[in-house]
Amino acid sequence: MDDVVHPKPETTPPPRVRLDPRGLDLGGGEILPLYAGAMHYWRHPPEEWAAGLDAIVSLGLRLVDVYVPWGVHEVSSGVFDFGQTNPSLDVARFLSMAHKRGLKVVLRPGPHINAELTLFGVPERVVWDKACQALTPRGNPVMLPVPPLAFPVPSYASDAFHEETTEWFNALGKIIGAMCHPEGPIVLLQVDNEGALYFRDGPYDQDYHPDAIALFRAFLKSKYAGVHELSAAWNDPRASFSRVVPPQYFDAKEAKDLARHLDWMEFHEHLLAHAMGRFASALREAGFRGIPTMHNFPMGEAATPLNAARMAEAIDLVALDYYNRATPGEHLVVFRRTSELVSRCEGAGAPAYGAEVGAGYPPFFAPISTGDSIYTLLIALAYGLRGFNLYMAVERDRWIGSPIDPHGRRRPFADFYERLTRALTLTRFHELRRRAPVRLVIPRSLRRLARATHAFGPLTPALFNVLGAGFRESCLEDDLGLGISPAALGEAYLRAFERALFARGVPFAYAGGESLEQSLRGASWVIAVLAGGVKGTVLTQLREARMEGARVTVGPSIPDRDGAMRLLTSPHDGRGLEVEPLLDASRADALVAERILELGLPTYPVDGIESYVAVHEDQEGKPKVAFVMNPSKSLHVVRVALPGAETLVDVLQPPGGQGVPLESRMTRVLGSFEVTVPARSVRMLAVE
């Protein structure tokens, strides 16, 4: 069993809003690009709502992103204030005001919304209800130590928590459920928020709630054909579906001991997808119908149990959050995350969306400058993002640095966002695509293994991922009798190809292991790391990519173990796959050079240290927009080769950086363009 998620009801009505690679299809030929800005109505007096919404419109944004906080609206159990007592809670009025201004709405009703609220928007009575609480291996509540008050997090498996949530959704649906498109402005519905187990996502942090353990046993029963198969996999003759208990800490000594730990990692993925399915069904039953659902993955999602392929069984659109700084290390983090998102979304016919792209920061974070926020947004667009939500567009309490102040007045740097939306519209950017014919594949089994062998106890693996640290820095060094850590070996393999591809200017993207059917579409060359063990389905999908015309390179070897690290009784089928041991980095460079000639791969070489270029094409394959990026601390004069281009025009017309005037129009000289890029900045150039 690969996937077990809460099914969508067969009675789901046909959608009135559909996902499209360019944004949202509203019907009648109208495509809405996903350019949004967040505003929290309940944090502003109603007399300031109009100014905030008007300022959002003035930036060229097309949607307003709206959290609806359960814990703020609930007066007592089952009793809610939607403006009857506190006018700032009149969410229906706020949505109507947005609608009159031509703004569509991304609605985010939780139950978890974070929003820098105490208790993350869940009512106090619910988080302190023991029946709703996630539990540690010792049966204690799982506490989240965040300012201003630590609190016990809810269990995604708890039936009691789901019942409470359903009551909240039903109450909200009676107020604004009828405001879904076309009758109203709601066009996209977020289900929960950043579902990485409330950031207590260590491999053995949670969830040992009785309902979670029951779900775990059902998961195992669906996965294994019978109790004998379970006991063989777990290397435990006493194992049974009715009595099996999840591991409470990592105690594997050899590879044969890993199956139960990897099952627990996989179960966490199933738990979250199953919970999102339950939430989504409850929202539809509450009246929110005919519009796509969405969920946003937080920073470091690759090291969490959030599995986009499984989540997609319950949620229509999986998006990412971005809160990064303009540094060389974080530049690569954004590239890896965004390119993986884009390859998956393009294959599924959906827009790659940044559900939260930081514009400012909460006061208990390390400061993120305006320059950092702008750089992050631009490089995410450069690597294929097709839509974004500025979080926060309008400032409020517990937030610093939005382009619009709490009273709806634009700050000077708001002009950049207006220039950007104007440039995106002028170039019809939402209709373009960054063609990436090379894909680097990371099997899910490798990420599960890295998570299970996390070396720093309760300190979340996601933190290491956010900081750009790899498996070598975050995983246990024990080789489990394999001679070398599979996670470290796999990461070294991928990074060697990454460096070689960047050096030659070949556009490429990452691809997640359980979404290969979508993520490999259109690829000319697929490079898959197979270290330790791998599911047979991954080999099947790689062979299918080969049959569709792609060259497929795998390595360092084809494993003799499955995805649970169990020795195979018969070898994996590697027919048609080219095994590349890749003994040193120079071999990766030589292989990339060979493939450029063999496959006619596009190349956009850059003459500039720590500089990057990304090119976006129209449907005919003609370059239309190029981004030149410099994450370093010094100004770069970069030479960029763009075949077929005669002139580059800076569509953002930024002021000179560091006192250096920047040319707005560049002409090709001797086959390349000379582009001045200030430190930690990006040039967005229209290609003529």
Per-residue pLDDT at 197 exceeds 90: yes
- Residues 641-680: tens digit of each pLDDT: 998 899 999 999 865 444 567 889 999 988 899 999 999 9
Mean local confidence (pLDDT), 56-84 = 98
Residue 264, number of CB atoms within 10 A of its CB: 22
CA 292 to chain centre: 17
152-181 burial, b at 16+ Cβ within 10 Å, e below that, comes to bbbbbbbbbbbebbbbbbbbbbebbbebbb
Q: What is the pLDDT of residue 415?
A: 96
The SS3 assignment for 473 reads helix
Q: 538: which 2 tokens?
A: 């991954």
At residue 1 the predicted structure's pLDDT band, cuts being 50, 70 and 90, is very low
* 137 CB neighbour count, 10 Å cutoff: 15
pLDDT score at 598 = 97
Looking only at the bridges linking them, the beta strands covering 525-530 and 18-20 are unpaired
pLDDT tens digits for range 169-192: 999 999 999 999 999 999 999 999
Helices (H) and strands (E) in the chain, counts: 19, 28
Q: Report how far residue 493's alpha carbon sits from residue 440's, in angstroms, rounded to the nearest whole number.
A: 10
> 607-687, what's its fold?
Immunoglobulin-like (2.60.40)
Decide: 556 and 493 in contact? Cβ < 8 Å. yes
- Tens digit of each residue's pLDDT (9 = 90 or more) over 609-633: 789 999 999 999 999 999 999 999 9
For residues 307 and 318, what is the distance between their CA atoms, to the nearest angstrom?
Answer: 10
End-to-end CA distance of the chain: 52
> Cα(688)–Cα(678) distance, rounded to whole angstroms?
23
What letters, b where the CB count within 10 A reaches 16 and e where it falls short, cover 190-210? bbbbbbbbbbbbbbbbbbbbe
Average pLDDT over residues 209-221: 98
For the chain, the average pLDDT equals: 94
Assess contact for 533 and 566: CB atoms under 8 A.
Answer: yes
Q: How confident is the model at residue 12 (pLDDT cuts 50, 70, 90)?
A: low
> Percent of the chain, pLDDT > 70?
97
Q: In this structure, what token pair is assigned to residue 405?
A: 């102040």
Nearest to 337 by CA among 299, 305, 371, 368: 299
pLDDT value for 469: 79
Question: Is residue 398 packed enough to be buried (19+ CB in 10 Å), middle (13-18) or exposed (0-12)?
Answer: middle
Whole-model pTM: value is 0.95
Higher pLDDT, 469 or 51: 51
Which three-class secondary structure state does DSSP give residue 257?
helix
DSSP symbol at 358 = E
H or E element: which one contains 99? helix 91-100
Who has greater pLDDT, 286 or 7?
Answer: 286
Q: Domain 36-431 carries which CATH code?
A: 3.20.20.80
User: Whose structure tokens read 């330790």?
Assistant: 532
What's the pLDDT tens digit per position in 350-377?
A: 999 999 999 999 998 899 999 999 999 9
Q: What is the pLDDT of residue 657?
A: 47
pLDDT category, 7, cuts 50, 70, 90? very low
Q: Are 440 and 506 in contact (CB under 8 A)?
A: no
- List pLDDT tens digits, range 410-446: 999 999 999 999 999 999 999 999 999 999 999 999 9
- Mean pLDDT, rounded, for 504-531: 95
Residue 655 has a pLDDT of: 54
Identify the CATH number of the domain defined by range 438-599: 3.40.50
pLDDT recorded at residue 113: 98
Position 505 pLDDT exceeds 70: yes
Rounded Cα distance, 111 and 132, in Å: 13
The residues spanned by each domain of the chain are: 36-431, 438-599, 607-687
User: Each residue of 274-304: pLDDT tens digit?
Assistant: 999 999 999 999 999 999 999 999 999 999 9
Could you tell me where the DSSP H helices lie in 427-485? 444-452, 461-466, 471-474
Asked if 191 and 279 count as a contact pair (C-beta separation under 8 A), the reply is: yes
pLDDT at residue 4 is higher than 50: no
